[in-house]
Structure 1
Amino acid sequence: MYRRGFTFLNHAFVLCFFLCLPLLFCAVNVWGPSLAVDPRVLRPFAFLGGYWLAFFHYSAYAGILYLVLRVVGLLGGNGAFWQQAYTLYAKAAFVAVMAILVYGAWNALHPVVRTMEHDTGKHLSQPVKIVLVTDIHLGSLFGRQYAAELTALINRQNADVVLFGGDQVDNDLGYLLREKSYEPLRNIKSKHGVYAILGNHDHFSGRVQEELELFRSVGFHMLVDEAVDLPCGVHLAGLEDFRSEPRNPYLEKLAGTDPGKVNILLEHQPRRFLEAEKAGYDLYMAGHTHGGQQAPLNLVTKRMYLLDYGNKKFGNMMGITSCGYGLWGSPVRIGSTPEIVVITIK
Structure 2
Amino acid sequence: MRNKVVIGVIFWVIYNAIVFYLGWNVYQWLRIVFHMDFPIVFSIIWLYCAYSIVLSHIDQRFRMTKVVSCYWMIIMEYGLLLFPIANLLLWFIPSIHIIWIGYIIFGLFVVIIGFGSYMAYSPIVRTKTIQVKKQKGEKESFRMVIASDFHLGILSNKKLLQKFVSKSNAAKPDLVFLVGDIVDDHPYWFRAYRMDEVMKTLTSTYGVYGVLGNHEYYGKQIPLFIDEMKKSGVRILQDETICIANSFYVTGREDKTNKNRQSLEQLSKRAEHQLPWIVMDHTPSDLITPVKLGVDIHLSGHTHLGQMWPNQWITRKTFELDYGYLLKQTTHIIVSSGFGFWGPPIRTNSRSEMWVVDVELVD
**TM-score, normalised with respect to structure 2:** 0.82
Pick from 282, 303, 310 the counterpart of residue 289 of structure 1: 303
Amino acid at match of 1:30: H
Structure 1 range deviating more: 103-112 or 15-24: 15-24
Residue 266 of structure 2 corresponds to residue 253 of structure 1: yes
* Counterpart-to-counterpart distance in 2, 1:304 and 1:101: 27
Pick from 82, 92, 96 the counterpart of residue 84 of structure 1: 96
* Counterpart-to-counterpart distance in 2, 1:178 and 1:98: 31
1:176 partner SS: helix
Structure 1 range deviating more: 127-136 or 225-234: 225-234
Specify whether residues 25 and 248 from structure 1 end up closer, same or farther in structure 2 by C-alpha distance, changes over 3 A only: closer
How many Å apart are 1:68 and its aligned residue? 4.0
Match of 1:130 in 2: 144
Residue 117 of structure 2 corresponds to residue 105 of structure 1: yes
How many Å apart are 1:59 and its aligned residue? 1.5
Deviation per CA, 1:245-271: give whole Å up to 9, x if none: 3x7543112226534311111000011
Structure 1 contact 21–49 (Cα < 8 Å) conserved: yes
**Residues 108-123 of structure 1 correspond to what in structure 2 (within 5 A)?**
108-122=120-134
How many Å apart are 1:87 and its aligned residue? 5.4
**Residues 1-346 of structure 1 correspond to what in structure 2 (within 5 A)?**
1-2=25-26, 7-8=32-33, 11-12=36-37, 15=42, 17-27=45-55, 29-34=56-61, 42=63, 46-69=66-89, 73=92, 81-84=93-96, 88-122=100-134, 124=136, 125-231=139-245, 233-245=247-259, 248-255=261-268, 257-346=271-360
How many Å apart are 1:123 and its aligned residue? 5.7
Amino acid at match of 2:281: E
Specify whether residues 259 and 241 from structure 1 end up closer, same or farther in structure 2 by C-alpha distance, changes over 3 A only: closer
Specify whether residues 215 and 311 from structure 1 end up closer, same or farther in structure 2 by C-alpha distance, changes over 3 A only: same
* Counterpart-to-counterpart distance in 2, 1:47 and 1:109: 16
* Counterpart-to-counterpart distance in 2, 1:284 and 1:304: 18
Specify whether residues 257 and 181 from structure 1 end up closer, same or farther in structure 2 by C-alpha distance, changes over 3 A only: closer
Structure 1 contact 274–314 (Cα < 8 Å) conserved: no
Stretches of structure 2 that go unaligned for 5 or more consecutive residues are 1-24
2:199 partner SS: helix
1:30 partner SS: coil
* Counterpart-to-counterpart distance in 1, 2:78 and 2:197: 36
Over aligned residue pairs, what C-alpha RMSD do you find? Answer: 2.4
How many Å apart are 1:94 and its aligned residue? 2.6
Structure 1 contact 4–87 (Cα < 8 Å) conserved: no
Structure 2 contact 306–312 (Cα < 8 Å) conserved: yes
* Counterpart-to-counterpart distance in 1, 2:322 and 2:353: 14
Structure 1 contact 145–181 (Cα < 8 Å) conserved: no
Structure 1 range deviating more: 329-338 or 2-11: 2-11
Amino acid at match of 1:31: I
- Percent identity over the alignment is 23
Structure 1 contact 264–284 (Cα < 8 Å) conserved: yes
**TM-score, normalised with respect to structure 1:** 0.86
* Counterpart-to-counterpart distance in 2, 1:52 and 1:257: 46
Amino acid at match of 1:202: E
Structure 1 contact 112–339 (Cα < 8 Å) conserved: yes
Deviation per CA, 1:15-63: give whole Å up to 9, x if none: 4555543344544x3134146xxxxxx3x66445423321331111012
Deviation per CA, 1:172-216: give whole Å up to 9, x if none: 232223333233211110100001100000011222112111111
Aligned length: 329
Structure 2 contact 337–353 (Cα < 8 Å) conserved: yes
Specify whether residues 293 and 22 from structure 1 end up closer, same or farther in structure 2 by C-alpha distance, changes over 3 A only: same
* Counterpart-to-counterpart distance in 2, 1:214 and 1:101: 32
How many Å apart are 1:287 and its aligned residue? 0.3
Specify whether residues 104 and 34 from structure 1 end up closer, same or farther in structure 2 by C-alpha distance, changes over 3 A only: closer
* Counterpart-to-counterpart distance in 1, 2:181 and 2:297: 20
Amino acid at match of 1:252: E
